[in-house]
Amino acid sequence: MSAYDIERVVAREIMNGIGNPTVEADVWLAGGQIGRSSVPSGASTGSYEALELRDGGPRFDGRGVLKAVENVNEIIGPRLVGMDATDQRRVDGAMVELDGTDNKARLGSNSILAVSLATANAAAKAVGLPLYRYIGGLRGCRLPVPVANVMAGAKFSGNELDFEDHAIFPVTPMTFREATRHIAEIYRKLGAMLEQRYGPVPAVGGAYTPPIGDEDGAMTTICEAIAAAGYEGEFALAIDVASGLFYQPDTGKYRLTVGDLSREQLLAHYKDLIGRFPIRQIEDPLHEDDFEGFRLAKEMLGIQVVGDDLFVTNRKRLEKGIAAGAANAMLFKINQVGTITEALEAADTAYRAGYDVVASVRSGECEDTSVADVVVAIGASYIKLGAPARGERSSKYNRFLRIEEELATGLRVP
Encode pLDDT of 46-84 as tens digits: 788 999 999 999 999 999 999 999 999 999 999 999 999
pLDDT (tens digit, 9 = 90+) per residue, 102-157? 999 999 999 999 999 999 999 999 999 999 999 999 888 999 999 999 999 887 77
The pLDDT tens digits of the residues spanning 336-393 come to: 999 999 999 999 999 999 999 999 998 889 999 999 999 999 999 999 999 999 899 9
Name the percent of the chain lying above pLDDT 70. Answer: 98
pLDDT confidence of 13, banded at 50, 70, 90? very high
* pLDDT value, residue 42: 72
Point out which residues pair with 26 in neighbouring strands: 10, 36
Q: What count of Cα atoms within 13 Å lies in the side-chain half-sphere of residue 369?
A: 18
Predicted TM-score (pTM) of this structure: 0.95
Residue 194 has pLDDT above 80, yes or no: yes
End-to-end Cα distance, the chain: 29
Domains, the chain? 6-128 (3.30.390.10), 137-409 (3.20.20.120)
